[in-house]
């Protein structure tokens, strides 16, 4: 096995025009692009799976739809804004309007942070606990992320270091240097590594749908952060970036995503530890007519309090789904 084995798919220059929308921008008419299509499919599939799992727990689907709208909207907007501020600060300084061009560049951790902000904004506006909503959403997220990173793979927007390894991508000759036949494609590698995580989340849900709230947050962050931290060391180097794109900025030797990995790993380990010996307690709003749901769903509740209180039939907890415990829930 010698040299890169993965072919270069030029998805960045293949698009399907939309003739009836050309009047919107004759010089650059709207079109259907591979990246946008795959991301849209990912959002759609992830939303369907999230709602399916919400129904399995007999949660109110309308409330969950509202939560997803807030999270996805905030995630997309801040995904671009944080990408612009931390990865392209000189461009923002030269053209402040770029900060609001949300279609022009996205950051994964920017999207994660945006989604968290959207979740807390929803909690404040709706006065409901969010941990169960977040955890169910995160349980479906890896499947959606597979499609998102597939989009990155076909447009090659995360080029890495020059390489002759078998798992490198055979980039065009003009994007290489003498002695190299390919590059590490970080979008493709993350796409490939996300598939096992999506399978693991599916298997764990099928095996036991009722797990302590926060389990999937802990699992996903703990799995993702170390891998992303290591992969970013293979990002394209500044001296080589002129061949393709500008290199990611480094702060004290690390990319913005690598710094975010420290926080992500800490949060992930916290939730894994917290949920290891805990049982499921419903904190989200049950669907109408579910007599087993929480009678106090319409009242504001604190996630920590909901997770720490034991299953108590008199308090209206979901006693059929969660076994009674002698100790407080973690």
Number of compact structural domains in the chain = 1
Task: Compute the distance between CA of residue 206 and CA of residue 195 in angstroms, rounded to an integer.
Answer: 17
Q: Is residue 47 part of a domain?
A: yes
Task: Compute the distance between CA of residue 152 and CA of residue 32 in angstroms, rounded to an integer.
Answer: 15
In whole angstroms, how far apart are CA 138 and each of 3, 192, 319, 321?
37, 19, 24, 20
Task: Compute the distance between CA of residue 145 and CA of residue 143 in angstroms, rounded to an integer.
Answer: 5
Q: Is residue 180 part of a domain?
A: yes
How confident is the model at residue 329, as a pLDDT? 45
Per-residue pLDDT of the chain (330 residues; tens, 9 = 90+): 578 999 998 876 677 777 777 776 777 776 778 888 899 999 999 999 999 999 999 999 999 999 999 999 999 999 999 988 988 888 889 989 988 888 777 888 899 999 999 999 999 999 999 999 999 999 999 999 999 999 999 988 888 999 999 999 999 988 888 889 999 999 999 999 999 999 999 999 999 999 999 999 999 999 999 999 999 999 987 776 555 666 788 899 899 999 999 999 999 999 999 999 899 999 888 877 665 544 444 444 444 444 444 444 444 444 444 444 444 444
- Expressed as residue numbers, the domain containing 128 is 29-288+299-313
Q: Nearest-5° angle of CA 16, CA 168, CA 163?
A: 125
Q: Is residue 147 part of a domain?
A: yes
How confident is the model at residue 241, as a pLDDT? 55
Q: 301, 251, 307: which is closest to 127 by C-alpha?
A: 301
Task: Compute the distance between CA of residue 46 and CA of residue 206 in angstroms, rounded to an integer.
Answer: 16
Task: Compute the distance between CA of residue 213 and CA of residue 53 in angstroms, rounded to an integer.
Answer: 13
With b for 16 or more beta-carbon neighbours within 10 A and e for fewer, the 95-105 pattern comes to eeebbeeeeeb
Q: Is residue 229 part of a domain?
A: yes
Please report where in the chains the tokens 């849900």 appear, as a residue. 205
Q: Is residue 308 part of a domain?
A: yes
Q: Is residue 309 part of a domain?
A: yes
How confident is the model at residue 176, as a pLDDT? 87
Q: Is residue 69 part of a domain?
A: yes
Task: Compute the distance between CA of residue 281 and CA of residue 85 in angstroms, rounded to an integer.
Answer: 40
Are 43 and 146 in contact by the 8 Å Cβ rule? The answer is no
Task: Compute the distance between CA of residue 260 and CA of residue 250 in angstroms, rounded to an integer.
Answer: 13
Classify residue 156 by burial, with Cβ atoms within 10 Å: 0-12, 13-18, 19+: buried
Q: Is residue 23 part of a domain?
A: no
Q: What is the DSSP letter of 326?
A: S
How many other CB atoms sit within 10 Å of the CB of residue 229?
19
């Amino acid at each position: 096995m010698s040299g890169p084995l993965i072919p270069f798919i030029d998805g960045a220059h293949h698009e399907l025009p939309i003739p009836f929308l050309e009047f919107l921008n004759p010089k650059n008419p709207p079109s259907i692009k591979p990246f946008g299509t795959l991301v849209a499919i990912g959002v759609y599939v992830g939303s369907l799976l999230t709602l399916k799992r919400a129904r399995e727990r007999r949660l109110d689907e309308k409330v969950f739809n509202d939560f997803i709208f807030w999270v996805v909207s905030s995630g997309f907007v801040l995904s671009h804004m944080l990408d612009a501020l931390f990865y392209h600060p000189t461009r923002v300084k030269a053209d402040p309007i770029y900060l609001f061009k949300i279609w022009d560049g996205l950051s994964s951790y920017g999207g994660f942070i945006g989604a968290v902000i959207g979740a807390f904004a929803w909690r404040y506006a709706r006065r409901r606990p969010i941990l169960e909503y977040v955890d169910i959403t995160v349980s479906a997220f890896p499947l959606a992320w597979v499609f998102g990173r597939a989009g990155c793979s076909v447009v090659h927007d995360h080029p890495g270091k020059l390489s002759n390894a078998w798992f490198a991508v055979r980039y065009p000759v003009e994007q290489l240097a003498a002695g190299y036949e390919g590059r590490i494609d970080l979008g493709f590698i993350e796409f490939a590594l996300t598939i096992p995580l999506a399978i693991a989340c599916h298997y764990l849900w099928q095996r036991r749908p009722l797990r302590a709230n926060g389990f999937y947050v802990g699992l996903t962050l703990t799995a993702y952060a170390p891998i992303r931290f290591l992969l970013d060391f293979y990002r394209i180097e500044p001296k080589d970036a002129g061949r393709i794109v500008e290199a990611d900025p480094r702060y004290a030797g690390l990319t913005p995503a690598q710094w975010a990995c420290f926080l992500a790993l800490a949060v992930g380990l916290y939730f894994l530890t917290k949920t290891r010996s805990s049982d499921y307690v419903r904190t989200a709003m049950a669907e109408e007519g579910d007599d087993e749901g929480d009678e106090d769903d319409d009242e504001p509740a604190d996630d920590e309090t909901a997770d720490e209180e034991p299953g108590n039939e008199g308090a209206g907890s979901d006693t059929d789904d969660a076994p009674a415990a002698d100790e407080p829930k973690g």
